[in-house]
Amino acid sequence: MQNDSLFIKALKGENVERPPVWMMRQAGRYLPEYIALRNKYDFFTRVQTPELACEITIQPVDHIGVDAAILFSDILVIPLAMGVEVQFIEHKGPILPKTITTQKDVDGLIIEENAIATLEYVSKAIKLIKTELNNRVPLIGFAGAPFTILCYLVEGKGSKNFDTAKQFCFTQPKLAHQLLNKITDVTIAYLQAQVKSGADAVQIFDSWSGLLGPKEFNEFSLPYLNRVADSLSQIVPVILFPKGSWYALEELSKSTASAIGIDWCIAPKVARATTQNKKTLQGNFDPCRLLLPVPQIQKEVKEMIDAFGKNKYIANLGHGILPNIPVENAKAFVDAVKNYKST
């Protein structure tokens, strides 16, 4: 039903009049309507109550006018489904009190159907969202990449360098691959369930892959990104976003994914050259620049689209929107894309 949408057309590489636009973390903390719900319900209530997840998912479609909705959820629902306790302390980030570091820990994880069964609330939310959206825009499902989920399982919390998680991979590679395979199995089943419920595309967030060098990325991240992409790309367009892994662009352009997300450190022309125009590219406005005056945002958005080209391109930020971005600036970003005319 969404094949005529700009977003799906851009993912399929079809010509468009202007690129589609959405923003990572568009359903969230910069929106007063979201903050009102955050003040009433704790994080897991918001994620696990289909009606709330639906309302939050649709807020940026109604208030900002983005060309795609993205499911309101969190990448850490996967550890939770695998039987690992996850605590969310507002403004503090996640804590996993019992980390996964031994063979026994890995053996004890809940996998496949048993894990997915506990994620029924996501399927319900997606069905509700699709009904409420009523084909206005497509819905993006998502999951964390296996390496990024491993980072949290092993480190037990957010971290600047995830040294403990990396050291686990480097010193116990066999166990790391067992863990990555289990995460991958659950993630594939989870994303397939999202598609079955109505997701029109899926994005894989590898938020911490950029902490790996090229060799380590090829060992601990890429094979699992590819396995996820291969298992989904027959049924739905897949977007891979390995944040900071600029060195992997050429390799990623050989994947079965439709699109690759990039951050603002990669110049558009470099990204196009490295991927040889094989993939749709998504990004890469620095969220910090959304604090600039609106006329400057408009100017820079135009320059960004000119540099990427209007086809095979999805306008987005290079990372999640920041809590202190004024709503009118977020809207100015989106409107600037919508008003794009090539000269």
Set 74, 200, 263, 335: catalytic member: 74
Does residue 167 bind a copy of itself (CB under 8 A)?
A: yes
Q: Which stretch binds a copy of itself (CB under 8 A): 123-131, 176-184, 207-215, 228-236?
A: 207-215
Q: Which amino acid is at 135?
A: N
Tell the smallest beta-carbon distance from residue 274 to a copy of itself (Å): 12
- Find the binder of a copy of itself among 112, 132, 216, 230 (CB under 8 A): 216
Tell the smallest beta-carbon distance from residue 238 to a copy of itself (Å): 24
Strands (E) located in the chain: 69-70, 87-89, 93-95, 139-144, 201-206, 238-242, 259-261, 280-285, 313-317
Cβ atoms 237, 213 nearer than 8 A:
no
Q: Got the DSSP string for 5-47?
A: SHHHHHHHT---SS--B--TT-SSTT-HHHHHHHTTS-HHHHH
- Give yes or no for a cis peptide into 284 (omega within 30° of 0): yes
Q: Got the DSSP string for 277-288?
A: T-SEEEEEE-GG
- CA angle, corner 138, sides to 234 and 272, nearest 5? 65
Does residue 273 bind a copy of itself (CB under 8 A)?
A: no
Tell the smallest beta-carbon distance from residue 287 to a copy of itself (Å): 8
- For a copy of itself, which is the closer residue by CB, 140 or 249? 249
- Find the binder of a copy of itself among 108, 213, 295, 326 (CB under 8 A): 213
Query: Is 74 a catalytic site residue?
Result: yes
Does residue 244 bind a copy of itself (CB under 8 A)?
A: yes
Does residue 291 bind a copy of itself (CB under 8 A)?
A: yes
CA-to-CA distance for 220 and 167, rounded, in angstroms? Answer: 12
Q: Which stretch binds a copy of itself (CB under 8 A): 31-39, 40-48, 52-60, 240-248?
A: 240-248
Q: Which stretch binds a copy of itself (CB under 8 A): 10-18, 61-69, 161-169, 222-230?
A: 161-169
Residue 126 burial (CB count, 10 A):
25
**Which residues, 6 or more positions from 295, have their beta carbon under 8 angstroms from its beta carbon?**
none
Q: How would you class 269 by CB atoms within 10 Å of its CB: exposed for 0-12, middle for 13-18, buried for 19 or more?
A: exposed
Q: Which stretch binds a copy of itself (CB under 8 A): 10-18, 98-106, 108-116, 259-267?
A: 259-267
Does residue 214 bind a copy of itself (CB under 8 A)?
A: yes
Query: Is 25 a catalytic site residue?
Result: yes
Residue ranges in 90-119 that form contacts with a copy of itself under rule CB under 8 A: none
> Quick one: tokens of 130?
């699709």
Set 30, 34, 152, 313: catalytic member: 152
| Buried b / exposed e along 64-93 (16+ C-beta atoms within 10 A) | bebbbbbbbbbbbbbbbbbebebeeeeeee
Does residue 272 bind a copy of itself (CB under 8 A)?
A: no
Residue 221 DSSP symbol: T
- For a copy of itself, which is the closer residue by CB, 72 or 220? 220
Tell the smallest beta-carbon distance from residue 264 to a copy of itself (Å): 4
Query: Is 163 a catalytic site residue?
Result: no
Cβ atoms 244, 151 nearer than 8 A:
no
Where on the chain is the footprint of a copy of itself (CB under 8 A)? 160, 163, 166-167, 170-171, 210, 212-214, 216, 244, 246-247, 264-267, 270, 286-289, 291-292, 318, 322
Write out the catalytic residue numbers: 25, 29, 38, 74, 152
